[in-house]
Structure 1
Amino acid sequence: MDPECARLLPALCAVLADPRQPVADDTCLEKLLDWFKAVTDAGSSLLLLQENPCLVELLFHVRKPQDLSSRILSFALRLAGTFAAQEDCFQYLQQGELLPGLFGEQGPLGAAAWVAPTVRSGWIQGLRSLAQHPSALLFLADSGAVDTIFSLQGDPSLFVASAAGQLLVHILDLAMRGPAEGRGPAEGRGRLQARDWPACAWRIVCHLEDCLCSEAAPRVTQALHVLTTAFGHCHGLWTQGLWVQLSPLVARLLEKDPVPAPHALVELLLSVARSSVLSSDPGLWETVAQTLSHLSPMQAGPLAAGILKLQDCPQALRIQAFGVLLRPLACVLEAAAQAPGTPGLLEGAAGDQMAVDTLPPSKSVCVGLLCSTLAHLELLQPLPQRPSPWPQAPLLAAAVTILRFCNGSAAPSSELGGHLCAMLVGCVRVQRAALDFLGVLSQGLGPRELVTQVFAVLLEYLVSPDSSPTVLKKAFQATLRWLLGSAVPPSCCDLEPHAQLVLRELLAVLQKRLCSPCWEVRDSGLEFLTQMTRHWGGQATFRQALLASEVPKLASQLLQDPESYVRASAVAAAGQLSSRGLHAAPSSPEHPAGPQKTPLEELLLVLTTDSEGFPRRAAMRVFTEWLRDGHVAVAEDRERFVARVLQAASGDLDWEVRVQGLELALVFLQQLLGACGPGAAPPCALAQALRALCRVQVFEFAFRSLFDCDRPVAQKSCDLLLFLRAKAAPSGSPQEAGESPDVAPVEAALRRWRAGEQGQPLGELAPEAILAVLRSLDLEALRDTLAESSDHVERSPQSLLQDMLATVGVLGDNEADCY
């Protein structure tokens, strides 16, 4: 320990032990614990206590009945556990009966402070740190701590209860690991029989058995959570013996009606199934199959989905699990009038009776079942281990049917169908889930008539005035995915004839939605327009239809929308339309509308005048894309374009705009150097590039940005200047022979900027001076400093101790390092 810290420690311990002193906040105590943990990890805890007896005195002091704050008591418990994690220090603290006084029955367990969850949590965390060696197991058994942990599993504080369960698992792993690893190969290493288990482990297992046999569902839940943690985090072979011992009791839970703690049971079975040690047990798969049969569809869904995500699983169980997931959708198809020949989801389905047994009569439960089913299938669809054959056509039919139930256009075939329609009509939650699932299904097409129905129902939702903004957004997203999936061949920019017809209808819908009074709808419409233009802006049919509509004009008008999010989306749309030559046409002589701005002028106006950051950021992204892609408005006078944009970006108050400005400058530099390869650029090309960069004042912007108060700006500037320096020939090369350039003005300016002074602009710069300054700057060190996390400048332990003491007036102001 640092000598100065050792000097300050007695005073700090005295402050912590004094109930009259307002000790520093929890953050300081956490930092203090972190420091002690680092000190003990690096050396001997016993030596630390022997050299600093004030720490032992503090721990003894908190044992006394007094009015200590719960925060200090919790801190002391965790601190004692940190020290006792080393066995020799544990024995040292045991000699003075300190540990029983902190963690035993004569400690805080019987005191008034125990009512504070902070103290109970500190007690658990202290024991968790302490339980690292065999001596700790004996202490836990003899002190009665294990019984307290059992009781804390049902603590009203969820954090305390969860920590208690995790501590039990840790103790069980510590107790079982040593004996299991100590057995030789001839004894069956790791496969301990129940009679060989240590007493502490056997006690925990007996407790778990009692909980599993309990009629109280909370106790069953506690045991299942402990076992889930054990099988998920402990990878010793002893877990096999634990499963053999307890799996019959787990299976017996299925005999109860209703099954207790079904969600916890599902989590346990999935945890065991994912264990490489246990997944080969045939009894496990039999229990899983029984569980799928006994639980309700809502309860069994997560188990079925989890089983289907496993790489290795019996085929019969996979079929059963997939049937569990498909059954709710099969019921939906049964409840609706299906056209002849429409494929079903499950063979041998019991018609309407199956729907009665599967779909809950409660609206909330039914909605939850359908949403969870669609979500599970959505996650399964792209996985390589998804069930095969994948029932694409029936799933499409089910998704379309659900959406029609929700908008009231479905034709129920029975009383149950009518009831289902009444529950789902207008249900936004189910609409969102079904649209998400429908979008995922676009990765595999279906029969022509079903694809036609897909586009029809999507158009219904896009046209309907009843569609909420979030539903509309998802309908736009699903439509885009289906249009992309309809390209012929895939990834081609041309669309099949049917999709081209849909596209025309979509433009009419879009024209209406861009005029919506709801800003979220206008925003979603602009995003959809941008994506369509990006994908099909070069396709003749799309171009003709778009230019014949009012959509480009409406998109341009939304650059003045009162909502900044909409203006930002309008900027992105305008940028994409202009790139494709699809922006709003100038006014005709018959319909004059005043002077018409070009897209470049419109977006420059946004960049220089918009009061919100979102539209200005969007404008910078568009300008960078234009420069990178060689937009016609940029190609006319690239230097003038870059200079105008950088002039606006460099003075912007939004750091993201400044970062994007530096990105644009980097793209410009890369284009100036052309195909120079990875090494240094030819002297002629480099000199021309430097002169161009000077003309557009890139260096004024970049050098100032090195000292920007926003770190991402400084990092981007480093990237730009390092890239340029890498392209310059090494110092002292023949082409640079001659007089040394005058870099004093630039270096003076950099010193002022580093000190926070704005100073005068750099003015005209010679390329040679730029290179000399670049070589004089330690850009690598600056980049490394900027790459560190925002809290890398941590307070030293000495500073932390001084600040805590200064808070209570123990130190003078000149000795503190508060900030």
Structure 2
Amino acid sequence: MDPECSRLLPALCAVLADPRQPVADDTCLEKLLDWFKTITEAGSSLLVLQENPCLVELLFHVLKPQDLSPRVLSFSLRLAGMFAAQEDCFQYLQQGELLPRLFGEAGPLGGAAWTAPTVRSGWIQGLRSLAQHPRALPFLADCGAVDTIFSLQGDSSLFVASAAGQLLVHILDLAMRAPPRGHPGPQACDGPACAQKIVCHLEDSLRAAAAPQLTQALNVLTTTFGHCHGLWTPGLWGRLSPLVGHLLEKDPVPASHALVDLLLSVARSPVLSSESGPWETLALTLSRLSPMQAGPLALGILKLQDCPQALRTQASGVLLQPLACVLKAAVQGPGRPGLPDGAAGDSVTVDTLFSSKSACVGLLCCALAHLELLQLLPQCPSPWPQEALLEAVVTVLRFCNGSAVPASDLGGHLCATLVGCVRVQRAALDFLGTLSQRAGPQELVTQVSAVLLEYLSGPDSSPTVLKKAFQASLGWLLSSPKTPGCCDLDPHAQQFLRELLPVLQKRLCSPCWEVRDSGLEFLTQMARHWGGQAAFRQVLLASEVPRLTRQLLQDPESYVRASAVTATGQLSSWGLHAAPAGPEQPGVQQKSLLSELLHVLATDSEGFPRRAVMQVFTEWLRGGHADVAEDPEQFVAGVLQAASRDLDWEVRAQGLELALVFLEQLLGPPGVRCPYAVALPKAAPPGTLAQALQALCRVQLFEFAFRALFDCDRPVAQKSCDLLLFLKAKATSCGTPQEERDSPDVSSVEATLQKWQAGEHGHPLGDLEPAAVVAVLRSMDLEGLQDTLAESSDHVERSPQSLLQDMLATVGVLGENEADCY
């Protein structure tokens, strides 16, 4: 430990032990613990205590009856556990009976402070740190800590209860990894006394009728088999698995969620999954749980790598069964192959769908969500029943909008239950969009298009449902088969698009801003993918969509204005934007889109539209947009002038991104040099650099970049530094001895930069010449600034000495000149 810290430590310990002193906040105490943890991990904890007896005095002092802060008491418990993690230090603290008094019944356990959750949490964390070596095991048993941990599993604080369960697992693992001598192998029945006590407690809890006690035991076992993979775990599972099996005999199965987690944890365990017992238990559990409870288990089983095929088939049937029942309820005669038909779980699933609206909706939402996840996994069942699932999902959506024709009593019940149900609509549309990643027969794809149009044009569709319908429509349009030798949309997709655009046109006029926003996002994606395709261009330009999109640049909602900016920018990149309509003044020349977006950048009161404009302008410059190509310098100058005055740091950062694109177009992109290359990096020709610098000075890029270098928002300063470093590297590689002899006087520029760095931003930089720019760049330590900016926001050194001084200064122990507050 640093000598100065040792000098300050007694005063700090005295402050912490004094109940009259204001206690340092939790943050300072956590930093103090972090410091002690660093010390104990780096060397001898015993030596630290011997050289700083004030720490032991503090631990003894907190045991005295006094009105001590719970935070200080919790801190002391954690500190004691941290030091006792080393065996020699544990013995040292044991000699004075300090540990039993801290963690036993004579300590905080019997005092009023125990009512504070922070004290109970500190007690658990202290024991967790302490229990690192075999000597800790008899101590835990003798001081009654294990019994206390059992009781804390049901603590009113969820954090304390969770930590207690994890501590039990840690103690059990420690005990079984260090069995008594003379035993041939670690078994759950021959471990140390505390291990046997924990196992007996788990057995009693698994037999308990009370659900909380049973759930606690199952959670502990889940963590045990998930994190402990020692040779003793099969023995523990063999001892407890019959009790777990008895739970499956009860009706209903108790604590089903915790039981599912346990069984999946056992199946994932590398030392247990090779046995047949866990697989048989999983199969039995699938058949015993209700359809709602079995869904998460079935999905978990299908994610397992080495799952037997029979169990995989059973799990697939559980997930598919609800949609099979829905399809049967709406289709007379045999359904499509691939879904369960008349399986044993059919009647149970039907009963769940019939039982109540909440049960019906919950089962269908879970089934759809699980199947959506499953389709994206490598373990997805093969063959995948794509056609049957498509028909089933379309049927679910038709039940929800009331257009399905029921073919049974269940169908009539589903019609009444699901009509207008937004939860099921959202889940079904999500799954339908995922199903677009696989092919389907054209008749079903046509049905998909029809039901999506119904939802997009339906007057009762909620904004969230419409958003998901747009997303699903985009997925199916993207998946449409391409004509050989042509990248255009196929005829069926073109027909879908023709029917879709009038609906989109209607939604862009919706009184609900979320709907207008979703429509614009959908339009942007379509233009991004098919803006250059003849069929899309023809259909889009024949509609009012481009005109309405441009009108939405004036929308009262800022999110919509931002989406309109992005959409018009994307349309304009493909020459698909509409000219502003002005029939009332045909002789007046209308503003160009570029001027309109510049107006948004300069005047919009919200940041979202202005950010969107900057992103569009950057894409336009990068892509060679026609309006930009006419006069790139004028365009860049106007944009940078507006961005430099913006109060939103993201706008300023995007302005630097645009400046970098302009710079790369003048000089070429920054080269990435291989460290093993023999040749030097290729430099820009001097003439090219001189011309580029002239252009950069004309657009006043350096005024913007140098100001941004001292921006109070770090991302802006970092981007500016990167840009100037790129330019400095180009200038350095092109320098000549003549230029170095004729270097201009840049003292006035450097003086202005120093004022900017000091926060005086009113001084202009003035007109710059290329030679002056190069000289300034060469004189600046941009590399050092880049390293400084790359450090975290708290990169200023905060030494332990500074921490101790600050904590003492807050209570007046130090003079104000001795503190180093931060």
Provide the residue aligned with 1:129 in structure 2.
129
Say which of 643, 647, 651 aligns to 1:649.
643
Provide the residue aligned with 1:761 in structure 2.
764
- Give the superposition deviation at 1:76: 1.1
Provide the residue aligned with 1:550 in structure 2.
544
Provide the residue aligned with 2:722 in structure 1.
719
> Does residue 1:624 correspond to 2:627, yes or no?
no
Q: Does structure 1 retain, via aligned residues, the 8 Å contact 2:684–2:734?
A: no
Distance 2:724 2:130 in 1: 52
Provide the residue aligned with 1:293 in structure 2.
287
The more displaced of 622-631 and 241-250 is 241-250
Gaps of 5+ in 1: none
Distance 1:560 1:753 in 2: 37
Q: Deviations along 1:353-381, whole A, 9 cap, x unmatched?
A: 46424535122222122112111111111
The more displaced of 792-801 and 251-260 is 792-801
Provide the residue aligned with 1:415 in structure 2.
409
Distance 1:84 1:360 in 2: 60
Secondary structure of the residue aligned to 1:741 is coil
Distance 1:360 1:56 in 2: 67
Against the structure 1 CA distance between its residues 239 and 349, is the aligned structure 2 distance closer, same or farther, given a 3 Å change threshold? Answer: closer
Provide the residue aligned with 1:110 in structure 2.
110
Q: Does structure 2 retain, via aligned residues, the 8 Å contact 1:533–1:576?
A: yes
Correspondence list, 1:605-624, <5 A: 605-624=599-618
Provide the residue aligned with 2:499 in structure 1.
505
Provide the residue aligned with 1:243 in structure 2.
237
Distance 1:791 1:270 in 2: 42
Q: Deviations along 1:737-775, whole A, 9 cap, x unmatched?
A: 532332322322222121111142222223233233223
Distance 2:486 2:335 in 1: 32
Against the structure 1 CA distance between its residues 352 and 82, is the aligned structure 2 distance closer, same or farther, given a 3 Å change threshold? Answer: closer
Secondary structure of the residue aligned to 1:483 is helix
Say which of 587, 591, 594 aligns to 1:597.
591
Distance 1:745 1:656 in 2: 30
Against the structure 1 CA distance between its residues 281 and 776, is the aligned structure 2 distance closer, same or farther, given a 3 Å change threshold? Answer: farther
> Does residue 1:708 correspond to 2:711, yes or no?
yes
Against the structure 1 CA distance between its residues 352 and 242, is the aligned structure 2 distance closer, same or farther, given a 3 Å change threshold? Answer: closer
- Give the superposition deviation at 1:263: 0.4
- Give the superposition deviation at 1:675: 7.2
Against the structure 1 CA distance between its residues 654 and 260, is the aligned structure 2 distance closer, same or farther, given a 3 Å change threshold? Answer: same
Provide the residue aligned with 2:101 in structure 1.
101
Distance 2:264 2:351 in 1: 25
Provide the residue aligned with 2:44 in structure 1.
44
> Does residue 1:208 correspond to 2:202, yes or no?
yes
Against the structure 1 CA distance between its residues 15 and 729, is the aligned structure 2 distance closer, same or farther, given a 3 Å change threshold? Answer: closer
Secondary structure of the residue aligned to 1:134 is coil
Correspondence list, 1:460-479, <5 A: 460-479=454-473
Distance 1:791 1:63 in 2: 36
Against the structure 1 CA distance between its residues 104 and 779, is the aligned structure 2 distance closer, same or farther, given a 3 Å change threshold? Answer: same
Q: Does structure 1 retain, via aligned residues, the 8 Å contact 2:809–2:816?
A: yes
Against the structure 1 CA distance between its residues 299 and 340, is the aligned structure 2 distance closer, same or farther, given a 3 Å change threshold? Answer: closer
The more displaced of 348-357 and 106-115 is 348-357
Distance 1:214 1:766 in 2: 85
Paired-residue identity, %: 80
Say which of 625, 631, 635 aligns to 2:629.
635
The more displaced of 380-389 and 630-639 is 380-389
Provide the residue aligned with 1:269 in structure 2.
263
Secondary structure of the residue aligned to 2:208 is coil
Distance 1:816 1:44 in 2: 29
Against the structure 1 CA distance between its residues 485 and 32, is the aligned structure 2 distance closer, same or farther, given a 3 Å change threshold? Answer: same
Secondary structure of the residue aligned to 1:762 is coil
Provide the residue aligned with 1:792 in structure 2.
795
Against the structure 1 CA distance between its residues 415 and 347, is the aligned structure 2 distance closer, same or farther, given a 3 Å change threshold? Answer: closer
Say which of 778, 782, 788 aligns to 1:779.
782
> Does residue 1:155 correspond to 2:155, yes or no?
yes
Against the structure 1 CA distance between its residues 640 and 120, is the aligned structure 2 distance closer, same or farther, given a 3 Å change threshold? Answer: same
Say which of 392, 415, 424 aligns to 2:386.
392
Provide the residue aligned with 2:815 in structure 1.
812
The aligned amino acid for 1:564 is S
The aligned amino acid for 2:742 is E
- Give the superposition deviation at 1:342: 4.2
Q: Does structure 1 retain, via aligned residues, the 8 Å contact 2:321–2:345?
A: no
The aligned amino acid for 2:713 is D
> Does residue 1:568 correspond to 2:562, yes or no?
yes
Secondary structure of the residue aligned to 1:592 is coil
The more displaced of 721-730 and 670-679 is 670-679
Q: Does structure 1 retain, via aligned residues, the 8 Å contact 2:487–2:533?
A: yes
- Give the superposition deviation at 1:723: 2.0
Distance 1:593 1:104 in 2: 92
Correspondence list, 1:214-225, <5 A: 214-225=208-219
> Does residue 1:146 correspond to 2:149, yes or no?
no
Q: Does structure 2 retain, via aligned residues, the 8 Å contact 1:334–1:352?
A: no
Secondary structure of the residue aligned to 1:798 is helix
Q: Does structure 2 retain, via aligned residues, the 8 Å contact 1:617–1:657?
A: yes
Total equivalences in the alignment: 813
Q: Does structure 1 retain, via aligned residues, the 8 Å contact 2:728–2:778?
A: yes
The aligned amino acid for 2:365 is C
The more displaced of 470-479 and 332-341 is 332-341
Q: Does structure 2 retain, via aligned residues, the 8 Å contact 1:526–1:555?
A: yes
Against the structure 1 CA distance between its residues 586 and 420, is the aligned structure 2 distance closer, same or farther, given a 3 Å change threshold? Answer: closer
Against the structure 1 CA distance between its residues 767 and 780, is the aligned structure 2 distance closer, same or farther, given a 3 Å change threshold? Answer: same
Q: Does structure 2 retain, via aligned residues, the 8 Å contact 1:484–1:491?
A: no
Distance 1:675 1:200 in 2: 66
The aligned amino acid for 2:537 is R
Q: Does structure 1 retain, via aligned residues, the 8 Å contact 2:508–2:549?
A: yes
Q: Does structure 1 retain, via aligned residues, the 8 Å contact 2:124–2:167?
A: yes
- Give the superposition deviation at 1:497: 1.3
The aligned amino acid for 1:273 is A
> Does residue 1:57 correspond to 2:57, yes or no?
yes
Q: Does structure 1 retain, via aligned residues, the 8 Å contact 2:186–2:232?
A: yes
The aligned amino acid for 1:241 is G
Provide the residue aligned with 2:439 in structure 1.
445
The aligned amino acid for 1:171 is I
Q: Structure 1: which 4+ aligned runs deviate by more than 6 Å?
A: 588-591
Q: Does structure 1 retain, via aligned residues, the 8 Å contact 2:597–2:613?
A: yes
Against the structure 1 CA distance between its residues 591 and 351, is the aligned structure 2 distance closer, same or farther, given a 3 Å change threshold? Answer: farther
The aligned amino acid for 1:463 is S
Against the structure 1 CA distance between its residues 589 and 71, is the aligned structure 2 distance closer, same or farther, given a 3 Å change threshold? Answer: closer
Correspondence list, 1:1-80, <5 A: 1-80=1-80
Distance 2:260 2:127 in 1: 30
Secondary structure of the residue aligned to 2:135 is helix
Provide the residue aligned with 2:694 in structure 1.
691
- Give the superposition deviation at 1:300: 1.0
Gaps of 5+ in 2: 673-680
Against the structure 1 CA distance between its residues 360 and 587, is the aligned structure 2 distance closer, same or farther, given a 3 Å change threshold? Answer: closer
Q: Does structure 2 retain, via aligned residues, the 8 Å contact 1:335–1:355?
A: no
Q: Deviations along 1:540-585, whole A, 9 cap, x unmatched?
A: 2222222222111111111111110000001001101111111113
- Give the superposition deviation at 1:154: 1.3
Q: Deviations along 1:107-159, whole A, 9 cap, x unmatched?
A: 11111111111111110011001111111112111111011111111112111
The aligned amino acid for 2:385 is P
Against the structure 1 CA distance between its residues 788 and 487, is the aligned structure 2 distance closer, same or farther, given a 3 Å change threshold? Answer: farther
Secondary structure of the residue aligned to 2:616 is helix
> Does residue 1:531 correspond to 2:525, yes or no?
yes
